[in-house]
């Protein structure tokens, strides 16, 4: 898992290979709680190892369950429907809805002195409809913050099961799932009826719950999707051993990958078309957009079919989580894609309608949104923008937008907080990179960082020549030196952020923006390669004048920069340079910018407090009066050494000096111009 602040995904060209998916989050946490409520021992194979399942396992340990974790196999020794002790317990639920909602219901029916809280976002996720239903049952639940939201305190219940328990179904299916899993604890003497108020969303997730309850001995009677009956006298029975199916929601990213990327296709191991998970129906939506999909027992194979993909309009009530992936697929379509009936997106880990709309717009897309729908318009070639995707601590946002890296314009995508995928798929990016491929020049540079004596310097100094053939988003350290040449060849149109690294030699080519050559006496010889464009080259500076950073090259365009405290600024070519609108301050200038060759262009620069040595002049085509030709703003406060006067003034020195100063004063209102000579 990547635990860095961000992950820079390079432009990816294609994908081929096999991916084995982790276990389903929805199945994993349901199985853990049901196993805890049973008498005896249950061995769970292929359990998902993620933030959400760790939250549930920690809670079960606090309740007194036996928990033995051996890799992906977990053995749960259950409570037999009764708590082993009655001490006050505070549970931290993180942002795990699949743990918070069912555990709230089970604890409320069992009764005790429990506090359940989570991360700030969990305290914004509604739970009021579940609490209302449990209070109708006679459970004691108090809000510790805002009504309708966690944190909660749970006390001892006075259960009343003679009337149907009503619960809303149009906000989250997890409320109904929680009741279905917990109420067998209260069905000792009579049937318990649950009635759904309003339309039930995410019905396939209820199917998962009913399927698993049957595996644990609870045969719930369902009358349509509005009425569910838990039979009198039922009790949880351990299946002994149970296997967790691979996550169909996670499969959606690789189904989409096979539809988007060029290559020999993607094979997904661990889940097939006969999955009990509703999100497997994402494959139907992907096929509607143009994917070619075949399936067998526990596997899927996906290839690119129609291209570009086809824009669609789809009711996504049955695949609420996986539908997010369709929003990114829509960027590759031939027309707009509208996803409807997705109101539940607004109460997930973040407001997913807002999140998907905001981040798609960063990429350049036109997006419309409504209370329960979103329309995403495709991006044409030359329409994609490099973007830094904010992930909102939402695993699905991070995984969805990684697929934007296959864009036609070959622009990179930055995924902020990539570790948020730990909620359901900790190794997602490793799995993606195992099947995706990029042009070698499009692979991000590795950041070398670490504490003192960790080997950074040894690694760097062992390399006589280093070539970074990638987009360098950020590379920062203060103790690495190199013995050879570091060549940076960024792809696309720009560098971004900062490079701060003591270097022996640095060669830049292509287009560079926002680069900083850091304060260090070790930095030397910054070379601009042929046809380089340097725009917004923020700072080249050093803590002392011993920096000795010489800028050299041919056909260089340098615009809008600050060159500070550099020991040795030079343009050594015979011409063709454009040095425009820069600030040069506090430098030892050995050969003045603009050079002394033909066809150099150096207007609109400001020179302040520099020490000049061996000034070559700004002559253009050898006319000897280059300063007038190149319209420099100011030579104020300079120290000049060894000026070749014959080069500066071709005829009478006094007359030319008066002419030059007069021309500058009349043509430039500010700042006033002086021409000091020493």
pLDDT per residue as tens digits for the range 232-287 = 999 999 999 999 999 999 999 999 999 999 999 999 999 999 999 999 999 999 99
Q: Is the pLDDT of residue 432 over 50?
A: yes
Q: Is the pLDDT of residue 136 over 50?
A: yes
> Of the ranges 420-429, 486-495, 528-537, which is most confident?
420-429
Instruction: Give residue for tokens 């037999």.
Output: 80
Confidence at residue 567, expressed as pLDDT on a 0 to 100 scale: 43
How much of the chain is in helix, strand and coil states, percent to nearest 5? 30, 25, 45
What are the backbone dihedrals phi and psi of residue 660, each rounded to the nearest 5 degrees, phi first?
Answer: -60, -50
Please check whether the two domains, 6-22+248-440 and 25-243, share a CATH topology. yes
Q: Does the domain formed by 6-22+248-440 have CATH 3.65.10.10?
A: yes
Radius of gyration of the chain (CA): 33
Q: How far apart are CA 326 and CA 149, in angstroms?
A: 30
Confidence at residue 516, expressed as pLDDT on a 0 to 100 scale: 42
Task: Give the DSSP H/E element, type plus range, for residue 132.
Answer: helix 128-137
Q: Is the pLDDT of residue 16 over 90?
A: yes
The whole-number average pLDDT for the span 20-48 is 95
The whole-number average pLDDT for the span 444-453 is 60
What are the backbone dihedrals phi and psi of residue 105, each rounded to the nearest 5 degrees, phi first?
Answer: -65, -45
> Which of 129-133, 198-202, 344-348, 625-629 has the weakest average pLDDT?
625-629
> Which of 69-83, 166-180, 207-221, 473-487 has the weakest average pLDDT?
473-487
> Which of 112-126, 218-232, 234-248, 658-672 has the weakest average pLDDT?
658-672
CATH of 25-243, one of 2.102.10.10, 3.65.10.10, 3.30.200.20, 1.20.1050.10: 3.65.10.10
Assessment of whether the complete model's pTM goes beyond 0.75: no
Cis peptide before 308 (omega within 30 of 0): yes
Listed by start position, the domains of the chain span 6-22+248-440, 25-243, 461-667
Confidence at residue 2, expressed as pLDDT on a 0 to 100 scale: 86
Q: How far apart are CA 638 and CA 609, in angstroms?
A: 5
pLDDT per residue as tens digits for the range 390-414 = 999 999 999 999 999 999 999 999 9
Given 51, 321, 393, 394, which residue is catalytic?
321
Mean pLDDT of the chain: 76
Coil vs helix vs strand at 302: strand
Q: How far apart are CA 535 and CA 52, in angstroms?
A: 46
Q: How many CB atoms lie within 10 A of CB 648?
A: 22
Q: Residue 394 catalytic? A: no
Confidence at residue 499, expressed as pLDDT on a 0 to 100 scale: 39
Q: Is the pLDDT of residue 171 over 70?
A: yes
294 touches 274 (CB < 8 A)? no
DSSP code, position 330: G
DSSP code, position 346: G
Q: How far apart are CA 641 and CA 634, in angstroms?
A: 17
Confidence at 426, pLDDT banded by 50, 70, 90: very high
Contacts of 507 (CB under 8 A, 6+ apart): 485, 486, 487, 488, 527, 528, 529
pLDDT per residue as tens digits for the range 495-532 = 333 333 334 444 444 444 434 443 333 344 444 444 34
Q: How many CB atoms lie within 10 A of CB 413?
A: 26
Phi-psi region of 303 (alpha: psi -120 to 50; beta: other; left: phi over 0): beta
> Which of 51-65, 316-330, 363-377, 530-544 has the weakest average pLDDT?
530-544
Confidence at residue 440, expressed as pLDDT on a 0 to 100 scale: 66
pLDDT per residue as tens digits for the range 567-626 = 444 444 444 555 555 555 544 444 443 333 344 455 445 554 444 443 433 333 322 222
Contacts of 25 (CB under 8 A, 6+ apart): 48, 50, 52, 53, 98, 247, 249, 423, 424
pLDDT per residue as tens digits for the range 463-504 = 434 444 333 333 333 333 333 444 443 333 333 333 333 344
Q: Is the pLDDT of residue 642 over 90?
A: no
């Amino acid at each position: 898992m990547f635990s860095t602040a961000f992950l820079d995904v390079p432009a990816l060209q294609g994908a081929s290979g096999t991916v084995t998916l982790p276990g389903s989050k929805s199945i994993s946490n349901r199985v853990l709680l049901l196993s805890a409520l049973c008498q005896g021992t249950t061995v769970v194979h292929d359990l998902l190892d993620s933030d959400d399942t760790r939250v549930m396992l920690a809670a079960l340990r606090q309740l007194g369950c036996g928990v033995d974790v051996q890799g992906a196999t977990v053995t749960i020794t259950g409570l037999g429907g009764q708590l082993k002790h009655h001490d006050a317990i505070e549970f931290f639920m993180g942002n795990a809805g699949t743990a918070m909602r069912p555990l709230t219901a089970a604890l409320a029916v069992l009764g005790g002195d429990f506090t359940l809280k989570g991360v700030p976002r969990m305290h914004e996720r509604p739970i009021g409809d579940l609490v209302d239903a449990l209070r109708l049952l006679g459970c004691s639940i108090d809000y510790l913050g805002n009504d309708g939201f966690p944190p909660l305190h749970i006390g001892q219940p006075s259960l009343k099961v003679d009337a149907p328990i009503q619960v809303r179904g149009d906000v989250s299916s997890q409320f109904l799932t929680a009741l279905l899993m917990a109420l067998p604890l209260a069905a000792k003497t009579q049937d318990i009826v649950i009635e759904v108020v309003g339309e039930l969303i995410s019905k396939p997730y209820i199917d998962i719950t009913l399927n698993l309850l049957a595996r644990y001995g609870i045969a719930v009677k369902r009358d349509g999707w509005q009425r569910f009956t838990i039979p009198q006298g039922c009790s949880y029975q351990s299946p002994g051993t149970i296997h967790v199916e691979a996550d169909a929601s996670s499969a959606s990213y690789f189904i989409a990958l096979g539809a988007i990327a060029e290559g020999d296709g993607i094979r997904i191991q661990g889940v097939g078309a006969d999955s009990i998970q509703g999100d497997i129906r994402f494959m139907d939506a992907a096929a509607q957009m143009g994917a070619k999909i075949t399936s067998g027992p526990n596997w899927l194979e996906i290839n690119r079919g129609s291209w570009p993909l086809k824009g669609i309009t789809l009711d996504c009530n049955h695949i609420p989580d996986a539908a997010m992936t369709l929003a990114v697929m829509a960027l590759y379509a031939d027309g707009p894609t509208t996803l409807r009936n997705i109101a539940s997106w607004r109460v997930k880990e973040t407001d997913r309608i807002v999140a998907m709309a905001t981040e798609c717009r960063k990429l350049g897309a036109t997006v419309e949104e409504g209370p329960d729908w979103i329309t995403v318009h495709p991006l044409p070639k030359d329409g994609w923008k490099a973007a830094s995707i904010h992930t909102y601590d939402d695993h699905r946002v991070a995984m969805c937008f990684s697929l934007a890296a296959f864009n036609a314009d070959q622009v990179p995508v930055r995924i902020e907080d990539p570790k948020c995928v730990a909620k359901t798929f900790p190794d997602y990016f490793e799995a993606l990179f195992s099947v995706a491929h990029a042009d070698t020049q499009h692979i991000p540079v590795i950041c070398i960082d670490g504490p003192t004596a960790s080997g950074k310097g040894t690694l760097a100094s062992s390399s006589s020549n280093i070539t970074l053939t990638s987009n360098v988003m950020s590379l920062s350290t203060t103790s690495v030196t190199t013995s050879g040449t570091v060549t940076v060849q960024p792809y696309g149109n720009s560098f971004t952020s900062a490079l701060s690294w003591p270097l022996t030699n640095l060669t830049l080519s292509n287009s560079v923006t926002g680069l900083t050559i850091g304060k260090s006496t070790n930095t030397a010889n910054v070379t601009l390669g042929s046809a380089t464009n340097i725009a917004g080259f923020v700072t080249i500076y050093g803590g002392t004048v011993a920096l000795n950073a010489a800028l050299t090259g041919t056909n260089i365009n340098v615009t809008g920069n600050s060159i500070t405290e550099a020991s040795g600024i030079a343009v050594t070519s015979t011409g063709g340079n454009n040095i425009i609108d820069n600030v040069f301050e506090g430098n030892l200038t050995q050969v003045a910018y603009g050079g002394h060759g033909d066809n150099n262009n150096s207007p609109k620069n400001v020179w302040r407090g520099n020490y000049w040595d061996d000034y070559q002049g700004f002559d253009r085509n050898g006319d000897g009066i280059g300063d007038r030709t190149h319209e420099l703003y100011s030579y104020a406060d300079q120290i000049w050494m060894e000026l070749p006067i014959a080069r500066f003034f071709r005829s009478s020195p006094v007359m030319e000096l008066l002419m030059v100063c007069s021309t500058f004063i009349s043509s430039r209102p500010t700042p006033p111009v002086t021409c000091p000579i020493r």
